[in-house]
């Protein structure tokens, strides 16, 4: 006999953590849409944001309202530096080059974090309410719940901003056709920078949330693997896909973790990934590229 209440509880947790995946996936999709760079170091950028927050909040003991924006801004700066020094020189090279550069970037970031903060697990200062959340009879860990809420707020904000703000319009224009965007006077290189800065900031936000739920360590980049699955399942260049797939993967991971055991989590997500790719090679909502000779 199945325990429906338990299933409900697990599903809720899964959907909530899926919100976090969606936020990180949004950071990924932003960069991919604008610059066609698959940023495999997304998990490491998350980690960098979380560690910056840790530095500001726990080591320099800044107040939270200052530490969080500072960490986000510093991450944005990091994003700009990455774009300028590593991605810009590779414009026009095959996509695989930029992909590999982000592989190297991930390694550098992990190494730097271990050098500066050591590889030990750290705890981020608590800033979310700790009252348990009850949905009907189901219990939801408060941090997970509030994390999902923050993620949802950010996702909504980003979507609105990029719907109505000029920079957002420029970004979407660049995403759909670089040449045309250039010819109507959009500064495409600026848009590239913008995409990386915004992406790094979003990654920092989700890094701070993820870190305050599960603690931070130099192996936080593993989170990035799940994010990678999310964006691939959703389709690399689809915002909607990132949201749907985020929830889907969160759900699958939670169910696999609860019913099969922790070691099945990543396995289950990757099996979902392969299954979906076999059926839809460009992900659920990805643009199907038409190839001509």
Partner 1 sequence: MRIGTFKETYVADAALFDSRTQHVWLGIAAVLLVAFPFVASDYWLYLACLIAINVASSTGLNILTGYTGLVSLGQAAFMGLGAYTVAILQARWGTPLLLNLLAGGFVAMVGGMVVGIPSLRVKGLYLAIVTIAASFIAHFLFANFSITGGTTGLSMQPGQLFGAVLDTSFRLYWLIVPVTVLMLLGAANLFRTRIGRAFIAIRDRDISAEVLGIPLLQYKLLSFGLSSFYAGVAGGLWAYFFRVVTPESFPLSLSIFFLAAIIVGGMGSILGGVLGAVFMTLVPEVLKLIVDLLPGGTNLTVFLSPVRLVIFGALIIGFLVFEPLGLAEMWRRTRRFFHLWPFRN
**At its nearest, how many Å lie between partner 1 and the CB of residue 137?**
34
Tokens of 160: 């609105």
Query: Would you count residue 236 as binding partner 1 (CB under 8 A)?
Result: yes
**At its nearest, how many Å lie between partner 1 and the CB of residue 293?**
5
Q: Which of 7, 77, 188, 266 binds partner 1 (CB under 8 A)?
A: 266
Query: Would you count residue 228 as binding partner 1 (CB under 8 A)?
Result: yes
Of 51, 19, 28, the residue nearest 208 (C-alpha)? 51
Positions in 2-41 near partner 1 (CB under 8 A): 38
- Which residue's CB is nearer to partner 1, number 77 or number 90? 90
SS3 118: coil
Query: Would you count residue 271 as binding partner 1 (CB under 8 A)?
Result: yes
**At its nearest, how many Å lie between partner 1 and the CB of residue 166?**
30
- Which residue's CB is nearer to partner 1, number 89 or number 132? 89
- Which residue's CB is nearer to partner 1, number 89 or number 125? 89
- Which residue's CB is nearer to partner 1, number 101 or number 173? 101
Of 3, 291, 12, the residue nearest 148 (C-alpha)? 12
- Which residue's CB is nearer to partner 1, number 166 or number 292? 292
Stretch that binds partner 1, among 14-22, 151-159, 173-181, 259-267 (CB under 8 A): 259-267
Tokens of 80: 């700009």
According to DSSP, residue 135 is labeled: E
Query: Would you count residue 262 as binding partner 1 (CB under 8 A)?
Result: no
What DSSP assignment string belongs to 147-199? Answer: HHHHHHHHHHHHHHHHHHSHHHHHHHHHHH-HHHHHHTT--HHHHHHHHHHHH
Residue identified by tokens 């970037």 is 105
Cα separation, 148 vs 175, in Å, equals 28
Q: Which of 26, 30, 67, 101 binds partner 1 (CB under 8 A)?
A: 101
> Would you mind telling me the total number of residues written for the chain in this entry?
293
Query: Would you count residue 257 as binding partner 1 (CB under 8 A)?
Result: no
**At its nearest, how many Å lie between partner 1 and the CB of residue 24?**
15
By the 8 A CB rule, do 153 and 23 touch? no
Beta strands in the chain (DSSP E): 133-135, 138-140
DSSP H or E run through 14: helix 4-35
For partner 1, the binding residues (CB under 8 A) are 38, 85-86, 89-90, 93, 95-97, 99-101, 103-115, 119, 225, 228-229, 232, 236, 263-264, 266-267, 270-271, 273-274, 277-278, 281-283, 291-293
């Amino acid at each position: 006999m199945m325990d429906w209440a338990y299933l409900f509880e697990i599903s809720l947790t899964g959907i909530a953590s899926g919100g976090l995946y969606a936020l990180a996936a949004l950071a990924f999709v932003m960069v991919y849409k604008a610059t066609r760079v698959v940023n495999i170091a997304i998990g490491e950028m998350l980690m960098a944001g979380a560690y910056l927050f840790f530095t500001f909040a726990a080591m320099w003991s800044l107040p939270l309202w200052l530490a969080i924006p500072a960490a986000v801004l510093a991450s944005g700066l990091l994003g700009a530096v990455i774009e300028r020094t590593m991605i810009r020189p590779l414009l026009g090279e095959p996509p695989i080059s930029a992909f590999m550069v982000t592989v190297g970037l991930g390694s550098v970031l992990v190494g730097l974090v271990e050098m500066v903060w050591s590889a030990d697990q750290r705890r981020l200062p608590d800033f979310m309410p700790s009252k348990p959340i009850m949905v009907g009879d189901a219990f939801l860990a408060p941090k997970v719940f509030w994390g999902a809420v923050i993620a949802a707020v950010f996702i909504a904000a980003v979507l609105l901003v990029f719907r109505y703000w000029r920079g957002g319009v420029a970004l979407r224009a660049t995403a759909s056709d670089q040449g045309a965007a250039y010819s109507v006077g959009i500064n495409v290189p600026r848009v590239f920078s913008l995409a990386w800065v915004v992406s790094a900031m979003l990654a920092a936000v989700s890094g701070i949330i993820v870190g305050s739920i599960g603690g931070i360590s130099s192996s936080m980049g593993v989170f990035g693997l799940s994010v990678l699955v999310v964006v691939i399942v959703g389709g690399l260049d689809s915002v909607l896909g990132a949201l749907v797939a985020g929830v889907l993967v969160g759900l699958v991971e939670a169910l696999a973790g609860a019913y099969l055991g922790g070691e099945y989590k990543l396995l289950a997500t990757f099996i979902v990934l392969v299954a979906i790719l076999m059926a839809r090679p460009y992900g659920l909502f990805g643009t199907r590229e038409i190839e001509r000779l």
